[in-house]
Amino acid sequence: MTNQRRYGEAEVAEIFQYAASPRASAGHAPAPESGFSLAELQSIGTEVGIAPERVAEAAAALDVHRVDAPRRRTHLGMPVAVGRTVDLPRAPTDREWEMLLADLRETFGARGKDRSSGGVRIWTNGNLHAYVEPTEAGYRLRLGTSKGTAVAASQMGLASLFAGLVLGVLLFAEVLDEDLVVLLVFSLMGAIALAMNAIRLPRWADAREEQMERIAARARVLIA
């Protein structure tokens, strides 16, 4: 028990904030040299009405957030795909996998498809996926998703802006005898498409990363 993880005051505050709220998210905190053990935190949580498993999940979320930052793929500076990978000590049993599937379906509001084969567990729902696969050190849970229409919308926006610019140059040079409204329509379409992506994609990415962090923490606790 001498190597048991200890939590400092800042981490304790984050853990209980996370455990007390179903949507709270653990953040960064410096690793302390001494503090409370998980068992001690669970005992404290029980006294104030917080279930031990919620405290364990909150502690796992804190470690997941520190060790593994979410992965983002961007297009024109806007996120179009997000993911997270967390190491597991072993493969989940059939029952543990079913419990993890239930968490995935509840968290993302999607039934999805279970396509497990051999030592690899696979759950997919469109672009959203969760894989449990072997590694050299054990196993890992790999979560990821992408916004299928985001790149197309951005490319359409750029194309419209470019077309508007070309028309503007040609009109200015009096090569084309077209109404200025055409230029405005093309430019406006492009600007709207890019603006919509700039507003919605960061929110979408933040929401998905929070959901994946919660699933990763639950998996760490479930397969500890």
* 27 band by pLDDT with thresholds 50, 70 and 90: very low
Query: From residue 177, how far is each of 75, 149, 183 by CA, in Å?
Result: 36, 35, 12
Tokens matching residue 218: 């639950």
User: Between residues 214 and 22, which one has the greater pLDDT?
Assistant: 214
Residue 49's pLDDT band (cuts 50, 70, 90): confident
Q: What is the mean pLDDT of the segment spanning 69-90? A: 87
pTM over 0.75: no
Task: Please count the other Cβ atoms lying within 10 Å of the Cβ belonging to residue 195.
Answer: 11
Q: Tell me how far apart the alpha carbons of residues 151 and 134 are, in angstroms, rounded to a whole number.
A: 32
Q: Where are the domains of the chain?
A: 6-67, 71-147+202-222, 150-199
Which pLDDT score, from 0 to 100, does residue 142 have? 93
Q: Reply yes or no on whether the pLDDT at 177 is more than 60.
A: no
Is 159's pLDDT higher than 90? no
Alpha-carbon span 32 to 56, nearest angstrom: 18
Phi-psi label, residue 36: left if phi above 0, alpha if psi -120 to 50, beta otherwise = beta
Q: Which residue has the tokens 């699933």?
A: 215
127's CB contacts (< 8 A; 6+ apart) are: 145, 146, 147, 148
Q: Which residue has the higher pLDDT, 75 or 208?
A: 208
Instruction: Convert the pLDDT of each residue in 81-133 to its tens digit.
Output: 999 998 888 999 999 999 999 999 999 999 999 988 777 899 999 999 999 99
What architecture does CATH give domain 71-147+202-222? 2-Layer Sandwich (3.30)
Return the higher-pLDDT residue of 146 and 51. 146
What pLDDT is attached to residue 117?
Answer: 78
